[in-house]
Structure 1
Amino acid sequence: MTSASSPQTSTDTTATAPASQPPVTAPPAAEARPVAREHHGHTFTDDFDWLRDKESDEVIAHLQAENAHTDAVTADQEPLRQAIFGEIKAHTVETDLSVPSRRDGWWYFSRTEEGQQYTVQCRVKASDTGDRQADWTPPVIEPGVAVEGEQVILDGNAEAEGQPFFSLGGLAVSRDARLLAYAVDHAGDERFTLRIRDLTTGEELADEIPNVSYGIAFDATGTRVFYTVPDDSWRPYRILAHTLGTSVEQDQLLFQEDDPGMWSGFGLSADRTELLISVGNSEVAETLAMDLPETAEAPLGELRMLVSRDLGLLHGVDPVTLDGQRHYVIVHNKDFTAEDEEHGPAPAPNNMVSLAARETVTDPRFWRTVVGHSETTKVDGAAVTATHLALEVRRETTPRTVVLPLTGLATEHQADPVEPDFGEELYSCELAGAPFESPFLRLAYSSWITPSQVLDFDVASGELHQRRQVEVPGHDPDQYLVERWWAPADSSQMAGAGGRPVAIPLTVIRRRDTEWDGTNPCVVYGYGSYEMSMDPALSVARLSLLDRGVVYVVAHVRGGGELGRGWYDDGKKLAKKNSFTDFVDATRFMAQSGWVDPDRIAAMGGSAGGLLMGGVLNLAPELYRACVAQVPFVDTLTSILDPDLPLSALEWEEWGNPIEDPEVYRYMQEYTPYENVRAVDYPAVAAVTSLHDTRVLYVEPAKWVQQLRRTVTSDQSRALADGGAPIVLKTEMDGGHGGASGRYRAWEDRAWDYAFLLTALGATELL
């Protein structure tokens, strides 16, 4: 196979010195235009703040020059990129479909066709024979073969034609199956336009609502559509109801949240009789409800408080009817059964589950416990059907699903939870759908090396029905090995619960034929923010790393949610540095493991994981040969100090508020990557971003790259394949936070990232 440098084989894992590459041409140098930022007696001079004006022709020209420089510097990697793209393509069934999901009288599914970038949304009529098992068993539909009566309701390829970008922000069908509501983004800035289509004629209705956020839903009558509007900082804050055939100016405002630190959203109850409005952030939430009318003539009900923010709870609410009476299942993080006058309710950081009657739901003294708090298992959420309650839980780092019947719930007759059994140790089993009337729960099962499966769990018998296993041509799971390692957090600024030493969970993935000889290349990946967990899932693209001898490590650092709420709390706000030191300690642990070559380790992370990359490089740049930072949040303090930037006020719950709190300012100033670049050797760095990203602005990596180039002492004059450490910026000019749209473009992006790392590691040939 053609590659960008010398061969790497399983019998000789020492990289052969590549042929000398021509010197790297001088990169674009942005002019220094100092701007002073003063807070809490500290002044920071920012020479490159002018790059944030993306309406400026000068800024666009600079970004284009950076792209041209990056293309030139990495041109020798093009054969490897093509090879990796081909491997991803070869491992992917390009003509494929999803497992049909039933909604009312139809089965809905999506098709992907070879050569097409986007999915096609389809449906086919369902049968009602009276046999619930048969009626809820999805039809067998073949890839590339249309079935009798199949209808295309939305073709993403047609919607994207002639557009630089395409993304859906929501899709909903009216209960009578006649109307489709969908929200589309053609810029990548996550501001969508809501449109309505008549599925009986294919015509678009005159109703069109610009500037909406994610999530749309019809009421039961199909005459109203609910949607959310973002404010100028992209925070969803208004929830409205649009009556079809009327002007947008007449839309009814249902709720408005004026606190800039709170996010709003909505959903329908499982039986679709109530609208639930959720408000909150990472530390407190509020839930309100509205009864939905059954006729178009009847007005919407009044909003009712269910769980007030005054209780200081993080929680989720699911309505359920038991013995003819309305109740609410509440997943929450305080134990009111252990409340006392002096200290109030006891903390339940891993959440517990309670049941509340409609009449007394606002008073937690009347809540009845369904599942108590556990130190080892975290309850992440719930879903209800007509007969059962499903709980999404996390135990030993991995997500699982447990189920119990509604009969006897929160009484002495409550049944024990049942959990589907699987053969692997490190896996993910998550809810993928819980249709209210169905006898099945739809589950998504995956592991690090096993192709994902779609399963229907029979809640009555406990039997699992495999509806689909994703086909990955040419992939043999038995060729790979996954292990859980634990790295000591030697650099931690705090001990764990009870003062115990902290151990960082690592997922270590490699080929079985990898030898324990200390010569293998290694890629360490991390995220570590917002309580998001890096859960088991097979990545087809990752196979291109493993098949070149890379030992791939996921460092589950603090700030994520893998080990419960405490693991998150120990990596946020004034404990954020733990995320960085955990990643460094994990890298050192791997370097000393005897499995990898300490001189052939690379790092990778995106978004808040890009902040992790910037922080880690400032702490211990000598540990890494290369780093890919995807949409990296590296000018953290500047962004959080500006409440007018997208979502900044919401971020105060994650990082603290440096505007009001001098201690938070000082702490963030100590770790924010852009302000802490050191004059020492750094590894090769690729910063990848998108011009229209509203979550992490392109200006952050653009400034960071300039600061790196003028500060670090590493050799930027030689090509990557020649042992140099170039620093490059790659900007997708038509993309958003997730990069360019379309599956082939996504494959190209991942091939680019991996080719950069593999070239640096001298691991370009398949074993």
Structure 2
Amino acid sequence: MPTPPRPAQRPVVHRHHGDERTDEYAWLRERDNPATLAHLEAENAYTEQTLSHLEGLRGELFEEFRSRIQETDEDVPARDGAWEYYTRTVEGLQYPIFARQPLRSGKPGGAKEQVLLDCNQAAEGTEYFALGAFAVSAAGRLLAYSADTNGSEEFELRAKDLQTGELLPDVITPTGYGAAWSADEQYLFYTTLDAAHRPWKLWRHRLGTDPSEDVCVHTESDEAFYLGIGRTRSREWLVMGLHATESSEVRILRADDPEGDWRVVAGRRPGVEYSVDHHGDRFLIVTNDAGPDFRLAQAPVDDPGPDHWVDVIPHQQGVRIVSVDAFARHVVVSLREDGRTELDIIAADAFAGDPRDGAPLAAGSRRRLDFDEPIYTVDVGVNREFDTSTLRIDYASLTTPSSVIDIDLDTDSRELRKQQPVLNVDLGRYRSAREWATAADGTKIPISLVWRDDRPAGGPLLLYGYGSYEHSMDPWFSTLRLSLLDRGLAFAIAHVRGGGELGRAWYEHGKRLEKPNTFTDFVACADYLVETGWTSRDGLAIRGGSAGGLLIGAVLNLRPDLCAAAVAEVPFVDALTTILDPSLPLTVREWDEWGNPVEDPEVYAVMKSYAPFDNVAERDYPAIYATAGLNDPRVSYWEPAKWVARLRDRMTGGGPVVLKTELGAGHGGPSGRYDAWKDEAGVHAFVLDTVKAVNGVSAGAGVPAADTGSDAG
């Protein structure tokens, strides 16, 4: 076994609220220190050496992934005016190609295709490539797009003339995510970042002018708020969204009046969130001003303030209204109920009359889309046009590949436009179920599971979790995951508190002072799966990323005996130190999620009780695979680097503990699809090896091996 790297210990003492914490590896924050990069490179070398015996399995898994994926493929074209827009991929190329063709001109990629952006060409000479904005003007003559080439999430914004195919001289850098065109195509709106990597300024750029002449139309001085820019589907309004974790403000401007004054729909109020879409003579507003699970309201365009917000769908406890999508003749409401995603359709004639009127929806004007499977995920898909009677939705489950379905909103007839191709696999062999664990306080925690029909009882299992920011881990299909299922593993999702699966209360009871519920819920799910015979302690692996990586780190300190293997990707493991430092990116905004330990001793004490780095102890730990991104602006690379070093210092047995750092990428890991598949093959191989399920043989019984970055592949 190779010897792991040992970074120098240079203790720094942190003092807050009369308490002291010693950080022997604080110096790893010195990004420009040659010793820092040398240590990360040494960690990568150690990881490769330690896992070198898995090289063959990694290659085998990668080839399996490729054998199941249709590498040259295209999505379903989406109509917009005289064009159909789509993306396609080509075998051997890392990135998608964005294109369009005239309506009904044939198969995508044909002679009449116009390539809007070939990301493979745009990425030439770089190790990383990601889009931040991709906006076609309303008339379809111009494209604005931005690219990040190192994972820092800072983008260079470009404009392209789609009639000539030429890039315009307008180049703006650095910018944040998103961009929006004015109606006359003369102005482009975009955001820039402050020193803490927060989108805080909105700018107006006149095409053809020097960016130094751009006009700043808004500066968001409150460090808890992010700024974003978009445009309604009706294309009549530009929308500036200002969002904190628990408060929001929306400003609007007619798209045909780009130099006009932005109007505030409703001023920000603590604890009140809202979003806006446009529908004829009214705005539709989703807000929690009347209850935690939100309501749908309407208000007149000429006076949309909160005094005129009239119920369309009143607040109903336990039915979380998530968003609204307005079309000319229908309105689509996305919501969550009983742990599932749902879509409700409302006919536009139900909105007839003055939007100030408080008349309830007419009977029969609201209906729900029904699906056969007990657990699934359904979302509004790519719908570019406002005046249409066809709704495109995206549907998937743990056993059903991602599907694009068009629904005739007048007749309810459905057309499956495409299901994600999955090659060389019999999809009929996979099964899914929903189970419920019981937390220590009696709360029932849902678990979603998928496995192959010949999996031996009690075989290995990989348990995934997240549980923060009200982000729900809804069941999703993964082609890459099939390599685990075909080797006898089951895959499970623990829908722990802190997520949004069961409404806003589910989130509220897993944040701030109640954050420990997230971790104990996950432990309860793991114990349930062992106690009910789904798996064994030696066959259990656990996985999470970012805030889900914090979950993994906290769980390992709570119950180091819980599992045989743990995967913590870009894990937020030095949480207390980060949230105490307002100079770091995102910290001030994060106080709404975790609490403010700078000002509140109780928050400090709770965070200290679970922060993974602070609670590493002298005990045995399971095998751990951690990742980091050198350019990650969300979870700094030094958090997993310090955590891994301290684990090795203090653990009394178990392991190994390895760290893989992407030196040219950020939070999402490798950007190219082949690189991402290789990365996932490495994670799979680590899990399979640790739970003794390799080469098609799982613990306890033989299972023959079968013939989209991350498990969600």
1:450 aligns with 2:400: yes
Corresponding residue number in structure 1 for 2:326: 384
Aligned amino acid, residue 670 of structure 1: S
Check 1:452–1:363 CA distance in 2 against 1; reply closer, same or farther (3 A cut).
Answer: closer
Is 1:362 the equivalent of 2:305? yes
Shift of 1:260: 0.5
CA distance in 2, matches of 1:299, 1:643: 35
Whole-Å separation in 1 of the counterparts to 2:361 and 2:156: 50
Residue range with higher mean Cα deviation, 624-633 or 311-320: 311-320
**Contact persistence 1:679–1:712 (CA under 8 A):** yes
Paired residue type of 2:437: A
Structure 1 residue 698 corresponds to structure 2 residue 637: yes
Cα RMSD of the aligned pairs, angstroms, is 1.4
1: CA distance, partners of 2:676 / 2:361: 51
Unaligned runs of 5+ in 2: 352-357, 697-702, 704-713
Query: 156, 159, 169: which is aligned to 2:122?
Result: 159
Matches within 5 A, 1:485-504: 485-490=435-440, 492=441, 501-504=442-445
* Alignment partner of 1:245 out of 197, 208, 219: 208
Contact 2:627–2:661 (CA<8 Å) still a contact in 1?
yes
Worse-matched range after superposition: 565-574 or 36-45? 36-45
Match of 2:372 among 404, 420, 423: 423
- The one-letter code of the counterpart of 2:316 is S
Written as runs of structure 1 = structure 2, the 5 A alignment for 1:105-504 is 105-126=82-103, 141=107, 146-293=109-256, 300-310=259-269, 312-321=271-280, 326-335=281-290, 348-364=291-307, 366-409=308-351, 411-412=359-360, 414=362, 415-434=364-383, 435-490=385-440, 492=441, 501-504=442-445
Answer yes or no: is the 8 Å Cα contact 2:456–2:488 preserved in 1: no
Q: What letter is aligned with 1:286?
A: E
In structure 2, distance between residues paired with 1:731 and 1:100: 37
User: SS where residue 544 of structure 2 aligns?
Assistant: strand
Q: Which residue does 2:451 correspond to in 1?
A: 510
Q: Is 1:691–1:732's contact at 8 Å kept on the other side of the alignment?
A: yes
Aligned to 2:581: 642
Give me the whole-angstrom Cα distance separating, in 2, the residues matched to 1:140 and 1:515: 48
Rounded to whole Å, the distance in 1 between the matches of 2:652 and 2:461 is 24
* Correspondence for 1:82: 59
Which one-letter code corresponds to 1:318 in the other structure? D
Q: Which amino acid aligns with 1:419?
A: R
Distance in 1 (alpha carbons) for counterparts of 2:27 and 2:55: 33
Q: Distance in 1 between matches of 2:593 and 2:498?
A: 9
Where does residue 554 of structure 1 map in the other structure?
Answer: 493
What TM-score do the two structures reach when normalised by structure 1?
Answer: 0.88
Contact persistence 2:282–2:301 (CA under 8 A): yes
**Cα 1:405–1:702 shift into 2, 3 Å:** same
Q: Which deviations, in whole Å up to 9, do the C-alpha atoms of 1:304-347 show, x marking residues without a partner?
A: 111211374111111211xxxx2111111122xxxxxxxxxxxx
Asked if 1:684 corresponds to 2:654, the answer is no
Task: Give the Cα separation in 2 of the matches to 1:529 and 1:662.
Answer: 22
Which residue type is aligned with residue 269 of structure 2? D
Residue 656 of structure 2 is matched in structure 1 by 726
Q: Summarize the Cα distance change of 1:511–1:31 in structure 2 as closer, same or farther, 3 Å threshold.
A: same
Report the number of matched residues. 689
* Higher RCO (C-alpha 8 Å, min separation 6): 1
Distance across 2 between alignment mates of 1:66 and 1:385: 53
Q: Which residue does the alignment assign to 2:77?
A: 100
Question: Do the aligned residues in 1 keep the contact of 2:180 with 2:229 (CA within 8 Å)?
Answer: no
Change (3 A) 1:360 1:94: same
Q: Name the amino acid aligned to 1:709.
A: R
Measured at CA, do residues 611 and 582 of structure 1 come closer, stay the same or move farther in structure 2, by a change above 3 Å? Answer: same
What displacement does 1:553 show?
Answer: 1.2
Distance 2:415 2:68 in 1: 25
In the alignment, the residues of structure 1 paired with residue 461 and residue 603 of structure 2 have an alpha-carbon distance, to the nearest angstrom, of 35
TM-score, normalized by length of structure 2?
A: 0.95
Secondary structure of 2:462's match? strand
User: Does structure 2 retain, via aligned residues, the 8 Å contact 1:85–1:747?
Assistant: yes
Query: Aligned partners of 1:56 and 1:473: how far apart in 2?
Result: 48
How far residue 373 of structure 1 moved from its aligned partner, in angstroms, is 1.7
Distance across 2 between alignment mates of 1:304 and 1:82:
56
Q: Could you tell me whether the CA contact under 8 Å between 1:458 and 1:464 is conserved in 2?
A: yes
Matched position secondary structure for 1:596: coil
Give the AA of the match of 2:236: T
Measured in 2, the distance between the counterparts of 1:467 and 1:140 equals: 15
Letter in 2 for 1:223: Q
Aligned to 1:32: 9
Q: Which moved more, 1:160-169 or 1:700-709?
A: 160-169
Q: What corresponds to 2:707 in structure 1?
A: none
Query: 1:369 aligns to what SS in structure 2?
Result: strand
For residues 363-410 of structure 1, give each alpha carbon's deviation from its aligned partner in whole angstroms, at most 9, with x where no partner exists: 33x322111222232111001011111011112212121111121226
3-state SS of the aligned residue for 2:653? coil
Could you tell me how far apart the structure 1 residues matched to 2:360 and 2:466 are?
42
SS in structure 2 opposite 1:450?
coil
Q: Give the equivalent residue in structure 2 for 1:652.
A: 591
| 2:320 aligned counterpart, secondary structure | strand
Which residue number corresponds to residue 47 of structure 1?
A: 24
Q: Distance in 1 between matches of 2:600 and 2:82?
A: 56
* Distance of 1:212 and 1:178 partners within structure 2: 22
Offset of residue 412 of structure 1: 4.5
Answer yes or no: is the 8 Å Cα contact 1:601–1:626 preserved in 2: yes
Distance 2:260 2:472 in 1: 38
Identity %: 41
Deviation at 1:479, TM superposition (A): 0.7
Where 1:28 maps in the other structure, the secondary structure is coil
* Structure 1 match to 2:467: 528
Query: Counterpart in 2 of 1:746?
Result: 676
Equivalent position of 1:130 in the other structure: none
Kept after mapping to 1: 8 A contact 2:204/2:214: yes
Q: CA deviation at 1:299?
A: 5.3
Paired residue secondary structure (2:294): strand
Q: Hey, what's the Cα distance between the residues in 2 that align with 1:412 and 1:192?
A: 46
Indicate the SS of the match to 1:232. Answer: coil
Contact 1:38 1:44 in 2 (8 A): yes
> How many Å separate the matches in 1 of 2:248 and 2:179?
21
Instruction: Give 1:598 shift.
Output: 2.3
Partners in 2 of 1:59 and 1:643 — Cα distance?
23
- Cα distance in structure 1, aligned partners of 2:500 and 2:425: 30
SS in structure 2 at match of 1:334: coil
Query: 1: distance between equivalents of 2:309 and 2:558?
Result: 48
Residue 54 of structure 1, CA deviation: 1.7
Q: 2: CA distance between counterparts of 1:646 and 1:299?
A: 31
Distance across 1 between alignment mates of 2:270 and 2:513 = 24
Offset of 1:194 from its aligned partner? 0.2
Residue 711 (structure 1) aligns with: 650
Structure 1 counterpart of 2:557, from 593, 615, 618: 618
Q: Deviations over 1:257-278 (max 9, x none)?
A: 1000111112112211111111
Q: Which deviates further from its counterpart, 442-451 or 596-605?
A: 596-605
CA distance in 2 between partners of 1:187 and 1:553 (Å)? 33
